[in-house]
């Protein structure tokens, strides 16, 4: 029987499997989604319902909440595959580990980052954001959440199988998330104060491009160390 599947279709299977498994365990995906909605709603209750104040703090509140939501699901990124041995099998696949890791990252993004891109503008309405701001919020989250999944993957891989993983990942990953937060929330803030957001967006894009290059390499190295 000759080898028949192309690189593309092997990688597609890896991505599709993760999404299929997640859809059979919807509670995990939904939890992240609901966390975002609930946590974001707490901020007005903790400050005031003043529309001006709300719209001033909305970019940072929504961005920080999105960042925390993405981070919450990081510990699951590799750990369940590690526990049942499928991670080992993926490391032994005939494709480079870097590409396998990239698929795992993409799956994580589709399942926990991408939904936020759609729901964040809705929550933004509650914070009295203008339509230009809402648009920028969605665009910056679209680029930013992918970057968060990429960087977070390194933290998830480094802490694989370590006890107390959840909090540890937060400590490792949050400082690395700062540029994403600064440029992401900065883009929305720029619109709010009537500036051009393109500068912030292109910086966010630069960070994304760098993460796309380095994060899979770092995660693959970290996974090899963890499985040794």
Tell me if 95 contacts another protein by CB under 8 A: yes
Pick out residues in 39-68 that bind another protein (CB under 8 A): none
> What are the distances in angstroms from CA 37 to CA 34, 144, 178, 184, 201?
5, 18, 22, 19, 25
Pick 134 or 154: Cβ nearer another protein: 154
- C-beta closer to another protein: residue 67 or 119: 67
Binding flag, residue 198, another protein (CB under 8 A): no
Q: Where are the beta strands (DSSP E) in 126-186?
A: none
Residue of 122, 125, 209, 225 that binds another protein (CB under 8 A): 225
- The reply to whether 221 sits near another protein by the rule CB under 8 A is yes
Among 53, 68, 176, 212, binds another protein (CB under 8 A): 176
What residues have CB less than 8 Å from 193, skipping those under 6 apart? none
Q: How far apart are CA 85 and CA 79, in angstroms?
A: 10
By beta-carbon proximity to another protein, the closer residue of 3 and 52 is 3
* Alpha-carbon 206 to chain mean position: 16
Q: At closest approach, how far in Å is the CB of 100 from another protein?
A: 9
- Cα separation, 157 vs 169, in Å, equals 9
**Residues 119-148 contacting another protein, CB under 8 A:** none
To another protein, the closest distance from the beta carbon of 38 in angstroms equals 26
What's the CA gap between 48 and 154, in Å, rounded? 38
Number of chain positions touching another protein (CB under 8 A): 59
- Among the listed ranges 50-58, 105-113, 128-136, 169-177, the one in contact with another protein (CB under 8 A) is 169-177
Residue 114 binds to another protein (criterion: CB under 8 A): no
* Cβ–Cβ under 8 Å, residues 84 and 22: no
Q: Shortest distance, CB of residue 148 to another protein, whole angstroms? A: 14
Residues 6+ apart with CB under 8 A from 30: none
């Amino acid at each position: 029987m000759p080898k028949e599947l192309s690189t593309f279709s092997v990688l597609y299977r890896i991505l599709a499997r993760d999404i299929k498994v997640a859809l059979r365990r919807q509670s995990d995906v939904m939890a992240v989604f609901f966390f975002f909605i609930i946590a974001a709603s707490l901020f007005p209750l903790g400050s005031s319902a003043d529309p001006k104040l709300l719209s001033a703090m909305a970019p940072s509140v929504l961005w920080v909440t999105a960042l925390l939501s993405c981070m919450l699901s990081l510990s699951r990124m590799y750990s369940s595959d590690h526990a049942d041995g499928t991670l080992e099998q993926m490391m032994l696949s005939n494709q480079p580990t870097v590409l396998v890791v990239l698929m795992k990252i993409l799956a994580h993004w589709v399942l926990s980052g991408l939904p936020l891109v759609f729901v964040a503008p809705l929550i933004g309405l509650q914070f009295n954001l203008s339509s230009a701001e809402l648009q920028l919020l969605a665009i910056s989250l679209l680029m930013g959440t992918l970057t968060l999944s990429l960087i977070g993957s390194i933290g998830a891989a480094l802490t694989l199988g370590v006890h107390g993983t959840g909090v540890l990942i937060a400590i490792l990953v949050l400082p690395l998330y700062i540029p994403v937060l600064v440029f992401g929330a900065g883009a929305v803030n720029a619109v709010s104060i009537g500036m051009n957001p393109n500068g912030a967006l292109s910086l966010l894009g630069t960070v994304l491009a760098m993460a796309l290059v380095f994060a899979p390499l770092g995660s693959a190295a970290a996974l090899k160390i963890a499985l040794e």
